[in-house]
Structures are given as C-alpha cells and as structure tokens.
Amino acid sequence: MEDMYRRYANLAITIREASAAQKELQPRIVSYVKRHGEPVRKDFGTFTVVEYPQYDYSAQVKQLEAKLNEVKKLEREAGVAELKSITNSLRFISK
C-alpha cells in the first residue's frame, strides 16, 4: 500500500514539473504558430492556437451575479436545490 501512495506522489510531482515546463514553452510556441500560420503539424502532433476571450463585466452584472450566488446558497441551505451528484477527488499536498 505504501508503494501506491509513493507512486501517486511521484506522479503528481512529475505532472506539476511538466506543467510548469509547458507553461514556460507555451508563449514561444503560440508566437511561432501565429507567425507561420495554423496548424503547425509535426510527426508527433498538431499545434493550433485557441483563443479564450475574457470579459470584465459592468458593476450591474457583478451585482446580479452576487445576488444569484446568494440565492443559490439559500436554496442549497433550505433544501430547495436538488443535489445532482457528488464527485470524489483526491487532494495531494507534497512536502
């Protein structure tokens, strides 16, 4: 059982390190792909740039969102909201 935990921990650390390396490379690759046209095909895969727009909403919309979240919380607490599902997830915090 100890080996299973150690393996999981090692994988989590490897994933974290790989993710950091990807984030470091991503801006250069995005720049290259945009300059040279999409898609960039390699023998190991294809690179394309995907845009995810982000918006800053007005104070009115932010107030409506806050009110909606408040009403949702009240419905959960009162038992009016119907529980759709519960998902289990494992949290690992490395030393």
Report if residue 90 sits inside a domain: no
In whole angstroms, how far apart are CA 20 and each of 44, 45, 73? 21, 20, 35
* Contact (CB, 8 A) for 39 and 48: yes
Domain co-membership, 43 together with 70: no
63 and 46, same structural domain? no
Q: Say what the pLDDT of residue 38 is.
A: 86
**Residue 43: its pLDDT value, please?**
96
pTM, rounded to two decimals: 0.68
What integer pLDDT is reported at residue 94 of this predicted model?
83
Q: What pLDDT, on the 0 to 100 scale, is given for residue 95?
A: 79
Q: Are 49 and 20 within one domain?
A: yes
Q: Could you tell me if residue 32 is inside a domain?
A: yes
Q: What is the pLDDT of residues 26-45, one digit of tens each?
A: 999 999 999 998 899 999 99
Question: H or E element: which one contains 47?
Answer: strand 45-47
- Whether 93 maps to a domain, the answer reads no
Q: Can you list the residues of the chain whose pLDDT is less than 50? A: none
User: Number of folded domains in the chain?
Assistant: 2
**Nearest-5° Cα angle at 90, 85 to 92:** 155
Q: Are residues 31 and 44 in the same domain?
A: yes
Look up the domain containing 39 and give its range: 1-53
